[in-house]
């Protein structure tokens, strides 16, 4: 008795199912970012494990251990550069990946969207904690400022802050806790990534026209694996240029000074990928209101998938859809700029205007997508 078609599919190995995965014939290079993210997550985990062998989570030794890795360990300088710059490039790829899914209305695949946004949130938390670990001047004060915002929560805020600090200030217990969390989060990200891929392969990839037809699908390999290789080569080339020639392009000069709790930097700002969140936090004059706005700015990314009721997006790209998407990109870019500006007029007012536009976008985009 010959096995049925269904049983033959089940017993196929995972690698074979990936090669034979039916993919829409018209997907472009914008669909490469999922595989690129997988590669850069692997790079970050691999280099992070190597760095952790020599890193010392102690306020007296953390900064010195980074210098030791860079100067004394064989190829330690390039491992450190890869890990530090890889975090920036990884989050840049995530931003592009999310923007592509929003532009093409892919958020209607609820399970895929929700797991993807969850991975994004875990990644930015891990990036912030990793930014603190070198124990430079800006790292220390960024940890102090960001963790202290939880004190605005009524009744339990002070308890949360003291638990995060492990005392009454950012010190050794804080550094140890951040180091452990920085190690645990990648494990959770890997598990969610597997779930994300399972959900994605259940429904298949979206395409620019939104046409869900099995007749317009072809095998993933060789057609799209070649596209993935092209995208990988482009970004790896860019990454190598940054690592070798511009390794400090996104770093604050004051972070090359060891942390000093007695000297406050003139202008504290986070890494470039947190500036838009920092601007939203500062746009509300009330401390508790700023915390609520900051948390809402992250949680609201779940909203388009949870309130949309359509099964597939429209294949017609109206001028209204394109205009609203450009407003989102403009709002995000302006908020990034505002995050670097001092807290004074007119930057506060500009930040408030574009914060409102940012929130409005995620409320109206599911209704626009129905057209």
Catalytic residues: 201, 205, 227-228, 271
Helix (H, G, I), strand (E, B) or coil at 59: coil
Per-residue tokens: 262: 């007695």
Euclidean distance between CA atoms 155 and 127, whole angstroms: 29
274's CB contacts (< 8 A; 6+ apart) are 124, 127, 128, 339
349/336 Cα distance (integer angstroms): 14
What are the phi and psi torsion angles at 108 (to 5°)? -70, -15
CA distances from 161 to 115, 127, 178 (A): 28, 19, 13
Question: How does DSSP classify residue 298?
Answer: H
Closest by CA position to 250, among listed 278, 266, 273: 273
How far is CA 164 from its chain centroid? 22
CA distance linking residue 63 with residue 204, whole number of Å: 46
């Amino acid at each position: 008795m010959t096995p049925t078609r269904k049983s033959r599919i089940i017993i196929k190995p995972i690698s074979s199912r990936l090669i034979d995965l039916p993919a829409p014939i018209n997907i472009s290079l914008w669909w490469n970012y999922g595989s690129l993210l997988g590669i850069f997550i692997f790079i970050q985990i691999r280099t992070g494990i190597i760095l952790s062998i020599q890193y010392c989570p102690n306020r007296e030794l953390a900064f010195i251990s980074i210098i030791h890795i860079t100067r004394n360990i064989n190829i330690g300088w390039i491992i450190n550069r890869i890990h530090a710059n890889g975090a920036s490039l990884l989050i840049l790829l995530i931003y592009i990946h999310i923007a592509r899914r929003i532009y093409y209305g892919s958020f209607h695949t609820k399970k895929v969207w929700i797991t993807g946004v969850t991975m994004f949130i875990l990644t930015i938390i891990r990036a912030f904690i990793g930014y603190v670990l070198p124990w430079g001047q800006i790292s220390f004060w960024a940890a102090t400022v960001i963790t202290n915002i939880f004190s605005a929560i009524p009744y339990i805020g002070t308890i949360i802050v003291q638990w995060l600090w492990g005392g009454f200030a950012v010190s050794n217990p804080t550094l140890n806790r951040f180091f452990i969390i920085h190690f645990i989060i990648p494990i959770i990200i890997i598990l969610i990534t597997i779930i994300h891929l399972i959900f994605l392969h259940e429904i298949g990839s979206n395409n620019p026209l939104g046409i869900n037809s099995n007749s317009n699908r072809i095998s993933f390999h060789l057609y799209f694996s070649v596209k993935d290789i092209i995208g990988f080569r482009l970004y790896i080339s860019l990454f190598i240029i940054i690592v070798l020639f511009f390794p400090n392009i996104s770093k604050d000069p004051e972070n090359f000074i060891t942390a000093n709790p007695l000297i406050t930097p003139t202008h504290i700002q986070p890494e470039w990928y947190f500036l838009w969140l920092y601007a939203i936090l500062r746009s509300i004059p009330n401390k508790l209101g700023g915390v609520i706005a900051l948390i809402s700015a992250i949680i609201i990314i779940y909203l388009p998938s949870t309130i949309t009721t359509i099964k597939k997006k429209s294949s017609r790209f109206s001028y209204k859809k394109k205009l609203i998407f450009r407003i989102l990109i403009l709002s995000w870019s302006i908020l990034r700029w505002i995050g670097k500006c001092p807290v004074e007029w007119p930057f506060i007012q500009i930040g408030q205007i574009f914060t409102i536009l940012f929130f409005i976008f995620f409320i109206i985009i599911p209704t626009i997508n129905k057209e």
